[in-house]
Amino acid sequence: MKNTYRFFRIRIWRIFGLLGAGFVLATLALLLLVAQPAQIPVPAAPSVAHKPIRGVYLPAHVAAHPKKLQTITENARRVGFNALVIDIKDNHGLVYYDTKVSLVQKIGARRPILKLGELLPQLKAQGFYLIARQVLFYDPKLAQYLDALKTERESGRWVSPADERVQEYNLAIAEEVAMLGFDEIQFDYVRWPDGGVYQPIYAERYAAIERFLQRAHRELHKKIALSADVFGRALWSWNLKKIDPIGQHLETFQRYVNVLSPMIYPSHYETEALRADPYGTIKKAISAGQERGLSLRPFLQAFEMRIPATMTYTQYIQAQLRAAHELGIESYLFWNPRGDYAGLWQALESRAR
């Protein structure tokens, strides 16, 4: 740049001697404009794939087991599924890859059973969209090291979402994961512990969750797509009032992540009418979210819990899918805490006949 301006200066003074100051000033302005560095376009933030994303959740020990993983990937591809959600940090507070984050090692949370350098390219070659699940504020390991959050239940397992040290710890892990080859990071337990009255008294809780999401978006959104698991109940319109003690307000979430994954498990509702009607429950919940303009990729239930006596497990899964498809939901994930999807494959195959 120094040599460029020297060249301009010499040429300008020669012109000055010949043509006068007025022309020189115009020429100088033009030369300075041309000499400005070209504006480099900022890359667009990564987004979730445009094609429908349909997948299953895998605990780390399943993803790390070659035979179990092969069974899942073969079945997934056969039924047209193209995504896998893999634990990289779970609700035991354990981190399952070869992390270099020093605090992970200091608190004894490192369990590098996932050989991601081999695993991710292998799965990518098979056409899978890969989602790294990172549990945030339910963290027994970190709670032992820091002051655990006082809770009505599950004592010693939660850390405060408002604690800057907790946010820094999770963002350090997420920054590292963003460079490992995943397509997306899915934050889970992005909330405070449940319990308490439904009243507008939780402004500080909502603010703390938003601070984390703001930081995560700022530091990560140009590197990797982001999503968040949220409570199914947060879809209902009363969530707009910010009266829930967990601190999840979905319009706030949507400002900072690409897509929301509400966990709409009919078995988890305490209202009998909702538990007994998986089709109606999924349809009501998703409709409520759609009316609010939310971008949804729901988690559906693929585990046998509180299945109505009038239905088989296969019918239970199919009822959820029918409701989702009728509402135009083409992307969804299924959850089984053990990574056992034999019943899901059966339901999808019989549905296709």
24 shares its domain with 66: no
Is residue 13 pLDDT above 90, yes or no?
A: no
This prediction's pTM = 0.86
Q: For 160-182, what is each residue's pLDDT tens digit?
A: 999 999 999 999 999 999 999 99
Q: Flag whether 44 is in a domain.
A: no
CA dihedral 50, 132, 300, 230 (to 10 degrees): -100
* H/E run at residue 228: strand 225-231
10 shares its domain with 143: no
How many residues in total does the chain contain? 353
12 shares its domain with 98: no
166 shares its domain with 131: yes
3-state secondary structure at position 88? strand
13 shares its domain with 143: no
CA–CA gap between residue 278 and residue 289 (Å, rounded)? 17
Where helices occur in 161-291 by DSSP H, the ranges are 164-177, 203-220, 250-254, 272-275, 278-291
Q: Flag whether 42 is in a domain.
A: no
Note the pLDDT of residue 50.
65
82 shares its domain with 28: no
Q: Flag whether 85 is in a domain.
A: yes
Q: Flag whether 10 is in a domain.
A: yes
For residue 46, what pLDDT band results from cuts at 50, 70 and 90?
A: low
Q: Flag whether 210 is in a domain.
A: yes
Q: Flag whether 159 is in a domain.
A: yes
Q: Flag whether 47 is in a domain.
A: no
In the chain, the number of structural domains is: 2
Q: Which range of residues forms the domain containing residue 61?
A: 54-352
Q: Are the C-beta atoms of residues 200 and 164 closer than 8 Å to each other?
A: no
18 shares its domain with 154: no
Q: What percent of the chain has pLDDT over 90?
A: 81
31 shares its domain with 61: no
Q: What is the CATH number of the domain that holds 130?
A: 3.20.20.80
Which long-range CB contacts under 8 A does 6-15 form with residues at least 24 apart? 8/32, 8/35
Environment class of 172 (CB within 10 Å of its CB; exposed 0-12, middle 13-18, buried 19+): middle
27 shares its domain with 76: no
140 shares its domain with 280: yes
Q: For 191-242, what is each residue's pLDDT tens digit?
A: 999 999 999 999 999 999 999 999 999 999 999 999 999 999 999 999 999 9
Q: Flag whether 312 is in a domain.
A: yes
Phi, psi of 231, deg, nearest 5: -65, 140
15 shares its domain with 90: no
174 shares its domain with 220: yes
For residue 353, what pLDDT band results from cuts at 50, 70 and 90?
A: low
Q: Are the C-beta atoms of residues 340 and 268 closer than 8 Å to each other?
A: no
CA-nearest of 188, 199, 275 to 227 is 188
Phi, psi of 284, deg, nearest 5: -65, -45
